[in-house]
Amino acid sequence: MTDHWNVKLYDNQHSFVSQNGTELIDLLAPQNGERILDLGCGTGDLANQLYMLGVDVIGIDSSGNMIEQARKKYPHLEFQQANALDLPFKDEFDAVFSNAVLHWIKPPEQALEGIYKALKKGGRFVAEFGGKGNVQMIVNAAIGIFRKMGIKNPDARIPWYYPSVGEYTFLMERYGFRVAAAFHFDRPTPLLGKEGLRNWLKMFGDPMFQDLDDETKEEIILDIEALLKEKMFKNGQWMADYKRIRVVGLKE
């Protein structure tokens, strides 16, 4: 697949991704000198926060664009381009940390197996990602417009995996984790400015538009904006219907 990540758009218009990860670092409670893997590090902001807390951190991401930007921003840190479905680590980390990534990873079983192997005995897996019902209004609008335009297999164009808490914790236990905590919660998320939804679709929704020409893509985005404006555009900005899962798993 092509690397669709626009790092300038990501850093300038979607900094909330990293900002929302600060609470997850609190849950991780990193200790000085621990070796921690930041799985899906993006442009490196949270990896750097971990480093500032005295952590020996490695950031990995499947996007070469993200890794290149992370290395430019934080040349003192180690970043590797790697796929969450093929992690090259074994019994190496005190913790695996992941923010806003695992809803991109399919099949989830393969990722969990690699995460478990990467951890030392006694290590912990702390993650947050999109859960059941996340951006459901956007998903429903996109599928409806695809169908209206006669685009085949519209459901297959949705690139994300949004499990329920029960579904994901079952998989965690299946691959060896003791689930110490699991939450599913609403997080209404502002998308900056009048172009907020459009920028979000270009940043995160680009895989939905693969193989469509620019004119068709623009028509779909305009239709999604028109369909959702009454419900999602309030006081001069768009508000996305985020629902998140947060988990803590232990390798005993």
pLDDT tens digit string along 60-115?
A: 999 998 999 999 999 999 999 999 999 999 999 999 999 999 999 999 999 999 99
pLDDT tens digit string along 144-198?
A: 999 999 999 999 999 999 999 999 999 999 999 999 999 999 999 999 889 999 9
pLDDT tens digit string along 44-53?
A: 999 999 999 9
Range of the domain at 165: 7-135+160-193+241-250
Q: Which amino acid is at 54?
A: G
Domain-located, residue 235: no
Domain-located, residue 222: no
Domain-located, residue 86: yes
In DSSP terms, which residues pair with 58 in a beta bridge? 37, 78
Domain-located, residue 234: no
Q: What is the mean pLDDT of residues 196-223?
A: 94
| Backbone angles phi and psi of 7, in degrees to 5 | -70, -30
Alpha-carbon gap, residue 95 to 116, rounded angstroms: 10
- Beta pairing, strands 237-250 & 178-191: antiparallel
**Banded model confidence at residue 11, pLDDT cuts 50, 70, 90:** low
Give the pLDDT score at 162: 97
Q: Quick check: 1 pLDDT over 50?
A: no
User: pLDDT averaged over the chain?
Assistant: 92
Nearest by Cα to 158 from 173, 176, 143, 177: 143
**Banded model confidence at residue 18, pLDDT cuts 50, 70, 90:** low
Tokens 């921690």 found at: 36
Take residue 60 and report the two structure tokens written for it.
Answer: 């990995």
- pTM metric for this prediction: 0.91
Burial of 238 (0-12, 13-18, 19+ CB in 10 A): buried
Alpha-carbon gap, residue 165 to 244, rounded angstroms: 10
Domain-located, residue 87: yes
Give the pLDDT score at 61: 95
Give the pLDDT score at 7: 62
Domain-located, residue 227: no
- Residue 184 belongs to a domain with what CATH number? 3.40.50.150
Domain-located, residue 147: no
Domain-located, residue 38: yes
Compute, in degrees rounded to 10, the torsion defined by CA atoms 105, 161, 240, 189: -50
Q: What is the mean pLDDT of residues 19-32?
A: 87
Total number of domains in the chain: 1
